[in-house]
Amino acid sequence: MSAMDYDNDELIFLEDDGSTDEHVVLGKDWNVLIVDDDEEIHTVTRLALADLVVNDRKLNFIHAYSAKQAKELLHEYGSTIAIILLDVVMETDDAGFEVVKYIREDMNLLEPRIILRTGQPGYAPEEQVIKLYDINDYKTKTELTRAKLLTTIISSLRSYQQIVTISQNRTGLEKIIASSANLFEEHSVKAFCEGVVTQISSLIGLDSEGLLCARAGSLIDREDEDVYVLGAAGEYAKFINKPIQELNSAEIAENIARCLRLKKHIFEHNFSVLFISRAGFEAAVFVRQTHEINELDKHLLEVFLSSISVGYENVNLFHELRNAAFRDWLTRLPNRNEFINMLDKPHIFACEDCCVALIDVNHFSDINDGLGQEVGNDLLRAISDRFLSSFDDSVKKGRIGADVFGLIGPEAVVNPESINELFSSTFVVEDHTLPVNVTIGFCRLDKKRNIGIEILKRTNIALNRAKKNLTDNYEFYAKDIEDQTTWRLDMIRRLRSDFAARKLELWFQPQVDLLNEQVVGMEALLRWPDGNGGFISPAVFVPLAEYSGLIVDIGEWVLEEACSRLQKLKELGYGHLRVAVNISIPQFRDRLFVEKVKLALSTAECDPSLLELEITESVVMDEPQIVIDALRALKEHGVQIAIDDFGTGFSSMSYLQQLPLDRLKVDRSFVKDVKPGASAVLAETIVTLGNKLGLLTIAEGVEKREQASYMIKLGCDEAQGFLYAKPMPFAELLAFLESQK
């Protein structure tokens, strides 16, 4: 339905600005279409405009929550919609612009006035610490719209009314609308102003000779009150952005000044000066003509000017919205949205060997909590400033999260060394001198992959890996990391459920006296059935269990199971055999660990000296004091302690000497090579060291007879390996022990 076939039940007399005196046929209320995916914005807008009455008519709100729905409603209401308040970012970053195009091009719907808005805010300071990237801050949006909403709505309604009026009478309409629609597409002030001049000239059938001038203070970032040429066509084009004096035309300068002073149009026989006034912006358009402008043309110009001033406001609004949607409020750097947009098209900055970095400020929340948010904000600004002053424009900068910055640029610049260099000196904020440490994730861009959000995700994966990296503060993204991450998460999930379903098994590998080959004990080793008759190696899943913390519960079960097997062995006449159990670092961090070991022993009524705990050197080094304290307590209880994989870690002897050890397990890599050589020398050293410390030594991974002989020669006491027996289920162990009798 268009305005023209709308019910002819009410005639409205326009008298607001004297520019028209036609009777116009319109509906009872002004239809205002609100398009926004945010329910809150609908409510807020409705509340803000609820009492507005323009020309004795109230507003009737129509609500759409997506671009798709907006299109449907547009078909239903057509040009009876006076104003469309349109959210820019909905289903997609530019869903709103798509709707604009659809209205003007596909539907050829020219009457409704369009006001763009967006719901992408900066971060509210108090929400900064919340590490959410996309927070819809309604206040910000309300602030942005509220101040402008009323004036914009009123002037847009006026403009809509004029257009509808004209559309019933004038043939020039299409041209006007097309002109302002064209202008609407222009997103820069310069292009807009040029467009205005061109459109005016063509409207009144003139050559494109004219210029638009405005006072600097009102528009461009200059502080003087001079009048500048903002847009021009024809011979004046070269004066754009110059002060009007440079035209060397007293006639133009004087008349423009007069127009701006009188705030009125001036029509002379060979030129006109048209006055544009809008929300503090005042401009004059000087047009040269060969004949005096007739009344009809004057009228057309009037309408056009009123409609372009809305267009101008749109241009301005568009800029503001773009800033709100794509700039970080604190540092003015591009925000996450804009950073993703930049990543979508890295080729634009012609970056060879382009690299993306995410830089996370370590312990930023401590600064915020300890020194206050103001200092926190200042620090973020100082960091942003350092990026800006250290890296030129070839490096794009952004603030991606509360304390996460982003860089895109050539790897020659965007690399661990130069970024770390940047943070090697302290930051001075107010009275504080703050050293700042960062963690950095990198992702190299290749020519093919340029989906911004994907690249950001990858860089973030690298950043998370970097946080776990113990030696460096950075990590580069590699595809396998991502696959690995997915795979790891899946394995952990399965391990958790299989453990809960009691599917894990504990197998045992005999340990023998090297000299007489009598079984002296066994090592308990976890087995995880893969469901196809095979087993997933503990070398694979134990690290995952450690990573996920699952090892604490699994380890507790291993201890219980081992102790109950010890009890069974005693019953069967093997009361002299010990069982060795592997213990991981997260178990030591469990405050109840010592108690749990004691409980497992007492529940199964086991002699504590038959339980041996195996710990690797890295476990000791990880948290020496916790481990030393726990082991001392357990040693006092009678439990035995062995150092596993000895020789592969880099233990500090001072720690080892503090441990209440019973046994050194010589790692299999030293046992393997019995011919004279480096590893054999090490095997000898380890055994000698063990002997000197008064410890027993056991050789791991003995597979061959000559390895056993060699270890005997070195003075090693015990052995474990395939030569004697492989790890086996408990039932098989019993049969094995039986056969050895």
Judged by CB under 6 A, the residue of 645, 662, 684, 717 near ligand C2E is 645
Sign of the CA dihedral 668, 674, 679, 684? positive
542, interface contact from ligand C2E, Ca ion, none, CB < 5-8 Å by kind: ligand C2E
Q: Least Å distance between CB 644 and Ca ion?
A: 4
Q: Which residues contact 627 (CB under 8 A, 6 or more apart)?
A: 585, 588, 615, 619, 620, 659
Judged by beta carbon, residue 172 or residue 727, the one nearer ligand C2E is 727
Judged by beta carbon, residue 261 or residue 502, the one nearer ligand C2E is 502
Sign of the CA dihedral 459, 465, 467, 469? negative
538, interface contact from Ca ion, ligand C2E, none, CB < 5-8 Å by kind: ligand C2E
Judged by beta carbon, residue 234 or residue 538, the one nearer ligand C2E is 538
Q: For residue 719, report the phi and psi dihedrals to the nearest 5 degrees.
A: -150, 160
Q: Least Å distance between CB 533 and ligand C2E?
A: 17
Where does residue 214 rank: exposed (0-12), middle (13-18), buried (19+ CB within 10 A)?
Answer: buried
Task: Name the 3-class secondary structure at 447.
Answer: coil
525, interface contact from ligand C2E, Ca ion, none, CB < 5-8 Å by kind: ligand C2E
Closest CA to 6 of 24, 23, 21, 32: 24
Q: Least Å distance between CB 534 and Ca ion?
A: 21
Binding mask 315-344 for ligand C2E (x = CB under 6 A): ------------------------------
- Distance, in Å, from the CA atom of 459 to the CA atom of 356, rounded to the nearest integer, reads 7
Q: What is the DSSP letter of 292?
A: P
128, interface contact from Ca ion, ligand C2E, none, CB < 5-8 Å by kind: none
Q: Least Å distance between CB 494 and ligand C2E?
A: 18
509, interface contact from ligand C2E, Ca ion, none, CB < 5-8 Å by kind: ligand C2E
Please identify, among the stretches 88-96, 120-128, 373-381, 579-587, the one whose residues bind ligand C2E according to the rule CB under 6 A.
579-587
- Distance, in Å, from the CA atom of 638 to the CA atom of 632, rounded to the nearest integer, reads 10
Judged by beta carbon, residue 553 or residue 703, the one nearer ligand C2E is 703
Q: Where are the alpha helices (DSSP H) in 673-729?
A: 678-692, 705-714
- Which bin fits 363, alpha (ψ -120 to 50), beta or left (φ > 0)? left
Encoded amino acid at 261, one letter: R
Write the CA distances from 1 to 78, 112, 164, 193, integer angstroms.
6, 13, 13, 34
Closest CA to 702 of 734, 666, 738: 666
122, interface contact from Ca ion, ligand C2E, none, CB < 5-8 Å by kind: none
Judged by beta carbon, residue 336 or residue 565, the one nearer ligand C2E is 565
Q: What is the DSSP letter of 673?
A: -
Strands (E), 133-240: 210-215, 227-233
Closest CA to 536 of 504, 568, 563, 567: 504
> To which H or E segment does residue 423 belong?
none
Number of residues that bind ligand C2E (CB under 6 A): 22
Q: Least Å distance between CB 610 and Ca ion?
A: 17
560, interface contact from Ca ion, ligand C2E, none, CB < 5-8 Å by kind: none
Binding residues for Ca ion, per CB under 5 A?
582, 614, 644-645, 700
Judged by beta carbon, residue 13 or residue 722, the one nearer ligand C2E is 722
**Paired sense of beta strands 696-699 and 718-719, if any:** parallel
Q: For residue 434, report the phi and psi dihedrals to the nearest 5 degrees.
A: -110, 120
Q: Least Å distance between CB 700 and Ca ion?
A: 5
38, interface contact from Ca ion, ligand C2E, none, CB < 5-8 Å by kind: none
Judged by beta carbon, residue 111 or residue 617, the one nearer ligand C2E is 617
426, interface contact from ligand C2E, Ca ion, none, CB < 5-8 Å by kind: none
Tokens of 712: 């005997």
Q: Least Å distance between CB 690 and Ca ion?
A: 15
Note whether 509 binds ligand C2E by CB under 6 A. yes
Q: What is the DSSP letter of 243?
A: B
Judged by CB under 6 A, the residue of 165, 584, 640, 697 near ligand C2E is 584
Judged by CB under 6 A, the residue of 88, 183, 525, 687 near ligand C2E is 525
697-736 residues in contact with ligand C2E (CB under 6 A) are 701-703, 720-722, 727
Q: Least Å distance between CB 610 and ligand C2E?
A: 17
721, interface contact from ligand C2E, Ca ion, none, CB < 5-8 Å by kind: ligand C2E
49, interface contact from ligand C2E, Ca ion, none, CB < 5-8 Å by kind: none
- Distance, in Å, from the CA atom of 530 to the CA atom of 232, rounded to the nearest integer, reads 77
Binding mask 649-688 for ligand C2E (x = CB under 6 A): ----------------------------------------
539, interface contact from Ca ion, ligand C2E, none, CB < 5-8 Å by kind: ligand C2E
**Paired sense of beta strands 81-87 and 11-13, if any:** unpaired
> To which H or E segment does residue 287 belong?
strand 281-288
Please identify, among the stretches 54-62, 147-155, 263-271, 582-590, the one whose residues bind ligand C2E according to the rule CB under 6 A.
582-590
Where does residue 110 rank: exposed (0-12), middle (13-18), buried (19+ CB within 10 A)?
Answer: middle
Q: Least Å distance between CB 357 and ligand C2E?
A: 36
Q: Least Å distance between CB 523 and Ca ion?
A: 6
The 3-state secondary structure of 374-404, one letter per residue: HHHHHHHHHHHHHHHHHCCCCCEEEEEECCE
Q: Least Å distance between CB 720 and ligand C2E?
A: 6
Judged by beta carbon, residue 37 or residue 614, the one nearer Ca ion is 614
Interior CA angle at 103 toward 101 and 104, to 5°? 70
703, interface contact from Ca ion, ligand C2E, none, CB < 5-8 Å by kind: ligand C2E
Please identify, among the stretches 239-247, 395-403, 581-589, 597-605, the one whose residues bind ligand C2E according to the rule CB under 6 A.
581-589
**Paired sense of beta strands 611-616 and 578-582, if any:** parallel
Q: What is the DSSP string of 83-149?
A: EEEEESSSSSTTHHHHHHHIIIIIS---SSEEEEE-------GGGTTS--S----HHHHHHHHHHHH
Note whether 586 binds ligand C2E by CB under 6 A. no
Judged by beta carbon, residue 210 or residue 555, the one nearer ligand C2E is 555
Judged by CB under 6 A, the residue of 526, 566, 620, 719 near ligand C2E is 526
**Paired sense of beta strands 438-444 and 53-54, if any:** unpaired
Encoded amino acid at 739, one letter: S
- Distance, in Å, from the CA atom of 10 to the CA atom of 12, rounded to the nearest integer, reads 6
Judged by beta carbon, residue 122 or residue 727, the one nearer ligand C2E is 727
- Any idea which residue has 């590893």 for tokens? 679
Judged by beta carbon, residue 209 or residue 644, the one nearer ligand C2E is 644
> To which H or E segment does residue 731 belong?
helix 730-740
Judged by beta carbon, residue 140 or residue 707, the one nearer ligand C2E is 707
Judged by beta carbon, residue 461 or residue 525, the one nearer ligand C2E is 525
528-567 residues in contact with ligand C2E (CB under 6 A) are 537-539, 542, 555, 558
Judged by beta carbon, residue 244 or residue 551, the one nearer Ca ion is 551
Task: List interacting residues with ligand C2E (CB under 6 A).
Answer: 509, 524-526, 537-539, 542, 555, 558, 582-584, 644-645, 701-703, 720-722, 727
